[in-house]
Structure 1
Amino acid sequence: MKIPESIKGNILLKMTSLNAGVIGVRLVISLFIQRLLAEIVGEAGIAKIGSLRNLLEMLSSFASVGIFSGVVKYVAEYQNNKEQLQKLFSTTFVFTVLGTIVVSAVLFIGSDYLSTTIFESSDYIYLIKLLAVMVPFISMYRIFNGIVNGLSRYKKLAGIDLFSYIISAILTVVLLLTNNIDGALIAIAITPALQFFVLLFIFIKVLREYVQFSQLTFKMPMAKGLLAFSLMSFFSTVLLNYVEIDIRVMIQNRININDAGIWTAMTNISKNYMVFSSAIFTLYVLPKFASIHNKNDFKAELFNIYKTLLPLFGVGMLLIYFLRDYVIMIIYPDFHGMESLFKWQLLGDFIRLAALVLGYQFLAKKMVRNFIFSEVLSLALFYGFAYYFVDIYGVEGVVIAHFLRYFIYFFVVLYLVFRYFKKQRKKES
């Protein structure tokens, strides 16, 4: 049977198919690790691991000064312009050095406070100090990963992602079995260093081709353009993870730490299938939207993305929902009370996917005020709804808040994006 040319030539579908294979392998490994973690560290341990992952996400943004999306955008635009690329990388170099020094110092000095605030115990001061040592690797991996994404080398990126994930998984299992929860936390903390060396090993030739390391200067000719992305990253990454940590602590205080672990387990399942979309956003959606300058072309591309991604995600999410009892039995057998969370989490994630595709127009066109407004609104809705509904519905109230937040967010982003094109048309006329 001959495959239609429209399907054979669909780059997004090719990326999706390749990504599906990588994510499939990752998912199998993740299921095994999550099951092992659930059996050994329980709900309380899962909650701590969730908080550490949130902290790592925040550090990734702070250490690289939040310019990941900016690097992706400008590398995609200037990949054939060596002069502009050198300006970009010099600016990135300065930002990264400053971000690394500040973040490492804050972690060392504030290790006691951060341990008590995030983990509600001073037992994890050693972990915060370990993260301080990891900060240079976190920032360099983030920047180099942005370059790879900007060049749209999705096949090599898939290989990097899979190989580093397998090594990290092996390390996690070994340290978990030998040192329990502390071992798992240490493995997660040093994962960024592993990711960095794997990326460097696989992609060093291409990096040398585009980045003239010997010619990097301590100047910032593109500071203004990248700072816009720094500001957007603060609201999208840092505040999001801060809110998640705060909500986890709220569940722990208002209900108990076991329910905090159950909610974290639900978000872990969510992140496992949502990671399927994250590479597509940075490899395809962001560069594509950056090159589109009129409403009709944008609508056509948006429709193409939706018709490719939404049915795939919809079918996958329906399977997860109807097989939820088996999913719980396989991954989190003793996490009673998770069943009721699936409906609202999956509905929220489906709308979230549709909204995030639209929202990447903010990054592509540096619509800073629109981006910040929509992100602050989204986080405020989640925070407010979660605090209100948790007293009525218990931990299920948090996933109801997740659904309501993205339902409102989608329509707000839809309005803002098409208002942008309306304004552009008025300027041109």
Structure 2
Amino acid sequence: MVNRISRKIKKIFKLDIIKVFSFTSISTLVKMASGFIGVKVVAVIIGPTGVALVGQLNNFSSIIMAIATGGIITGVIKYIAQYKDDTDAVRAYIGTAVKITLSLSFICGLLLILTSRFLAFKILLDTKYSFIFIIFGLALSFYVGNTLLLAIINGYKQFNLYVKISIISSIIGLCLSLCLVIPFGVNGALINTVTSQSFVFIILLFLIKKANVPYLSKNYIWNRFDKSKAAHFFRFSLMTLVSAFCTPVSQLILRRYIIDNFSMQAAGWWEGINRLSHAYLMIITSSFSVYYLPKLSELSSAVSIKREIKTACKVIIPCLVVGLSSVYFNRFLIIDILFSSEFYEMSNLLFWRLIGDFFKVASWLIAYLMHAKAMAKLLISTEIIFSSLEIILSILLSNLIAMQGIMLGYAINYFIYFSLMVYLLINNGFKLEADL
């Protein structure tokens, strides 16, 4: 019996997903540590009200980034992973991606600058923050360039380089955050939100050149625009843009609802939980885009795909249960370490958020298949339906049990989403081909 268990444990540790998970653990720990320090500094210096404003800007910048990249980043990862041995195909995909992102980032940057006062009033509730959107417009092309290069590295599965860049970007992000937030408070936190990845881009170029990789050569970057490859990317544009809009827009709506019906401070508590959730989920989801998406993209048979999802569940679900339980039972200590006494109310709101996060990650293990196989219609419809459902459930339940209702709505929404994903997988609802 003992020998059988021992063999099973050894077999699990030989799995590729465990190797990647272990490989990326260092960068994840560095990212977490820098993120925790950054959250602590921001929470102490600018308080719940400032944290709510930064959350607003984060959601808005996510939407702009999706538009500026044309929503093709997931497609870049998929097609490079799929055709990495076909040099001509990869050159065509990279050249097309560069032209799409350069054009769109320039247009978006210009619009941000021209509409800065309007955006400052609508997003940050005060025109005095118009300079933030001007800075964002000027930095946007570098931000997009950083995102595109990371996607190319990911597609090639160059894990050594990817981990190195992740560690460096985390350290740069932390240093920039400290240098801006400590002397400039809310303004510094907002500037950091829209500039940190632009600084990383410069370091990224240096590391890639030093690694002597081919995809920075003129033959790749300035390869001609290919209409057929652009059409392939278009499927991912629709999926990514809808995904990128749905989550931030639903958060913008809910945050504004909380501000109007509860208080700005309550919105700060809610945003604090969002930040905490992002930090602890990073431990598990770090391997998703690095390993899981390219792996699902490579597989072609239903049997092999279901086997891979089953393997991922065996590894991720136990880690998820242990991790989320640890967060709940140590919630007071975590709030003391990461935030301040102004955020103690978060402890009363955390339970249902953790339940929701469990079903969220569990559903992702199946839902990533929609990205990997370009199932655009299915992904778009589910994103819109469940983002809308979260808003409806949260608002309805908040009328019954106040802020607890916001969290309960989140948990119920992802439980229903998870149930649907399981049903589709078991009953062959997923077709292993693009549906648009």
Q: Which one of the candidate residues 299, 303, 307 is aligned to 1:296?
A: 303
Q: Which of 319, 323, 341 is the matching residue for 1:316? A: 323
In structure 1, the residue matched to 2:148 is: 143
**In 2, distance between residues paired with 1:241 and 1:280?**
23
Range moving further from structure 2, 267-276 or 19-28: 19-28
Aligned partners of 2:332 and 2:344 also within 8 Å: no
The reply to whether residue 198 of structure 1 matches residue 206 of structure 2 is no
Residues 257-280 of structure 1: per-residue CA shift (max 9 Å, x gap):
000000000000000022234431
Q: State the partner residue of 1:180.
A: 185
Displacement, 1:96? 0.8
CA distance in 2, matches of 1:104, 1:418: 45
Match of 1:337 among 301, 320, 345: 345
Compared CA separation, residues 20 and 116, structure 1 to 2 (3 A): same
Give the aligned CA root-mean-square deviation in angstroms. 2.1
What TM-score do the two structures reach when normalised by structure 1?
0.94
- TM-score normalized with structure 2 length: 0.92
Pick closer, same or farther for the CA change 1:345–1:207 going to 2, 3 Å: farther
- Alignment match of 1:369 (pick from 351, 355, 377): 377
- How far apart, in 2, do the equivalents of 1:339 and 1:96 lie? 42
Letter in 2 for 1:312: C
* Distance (whole Å) between structure 2 residues aligned to residue 78 and residue 136 of structure 1: 27
Q: 1:422 to 1:82 in 2, by over 3 A?
A: closer
Report what 2:273 is aligned to. 266
- Per-residue CA deviation, residues 393-419 of structure 1 (Å, 9 max, x unaligned), is 222222111111110111222333455
Cα-to-partner distance string for 1:214-234 (whole Å, 9 max, x where unaligned): 542244331111000000011
Aligned residue type for 1:314 = V
Mapped contact 2:398–2:406 kept (Cα < 8 A): yes
Is 1:236–2:238 an aligned residue pair?
no
What SS does the corresponding residue of 1:296 show, helix, strand or coil?
helix
SS at match of 2:228: coil
Is 1:161 aligned to residue 189 of structure 2? Answer: no
Name the counterpart of 2:49: 44
Aligned match of 1:381: 389
CA contact (8 A) 2:209 2:216 kept: no
**What whole-Å deviation, never above 9, does each CA across 1:193-230 have from its counterpart, x for those lacking one?**
12212222222355741354254224433111100000
Q: State the Cα distance separating 1:421 from its structure 2 match.
A: 6.2
Distance 1:58 1:135 in 2: 12
- Partners of 1:352 and 1:410 within 8 A in 2: yes
Decide which of 60, 67, 79 is 1:55's aligned counterpart.
60
Match of 1:100 in 2: 105
- Offset of residue 247 of structure 1: 1.2
Q: 1:424 to 1:91 in 2, by over 3 A?
A: closer
Deviations 1:19-60 (A, max 9, x none): 333222332332222222222111000001111221222222
Unaligned runs of 5+ in 2: none
Aligned to 2:401: 393
**Contact 2:59–2:249 under 8 Å retained in 1:** yes
Count of matched residue positions in the alignment of Structure 1 and Structure 2: 425
Q: How does 1:398-413 map to 2 (within 5 A)?
A: 398-413=406-421
Rounded Cα–Cα distance in structure 1 between residues aligned with 2:289 and 2:212: 18
Structure 1 window deviating more from structure 2 (21-30 vs 266-275): it is: 21-30
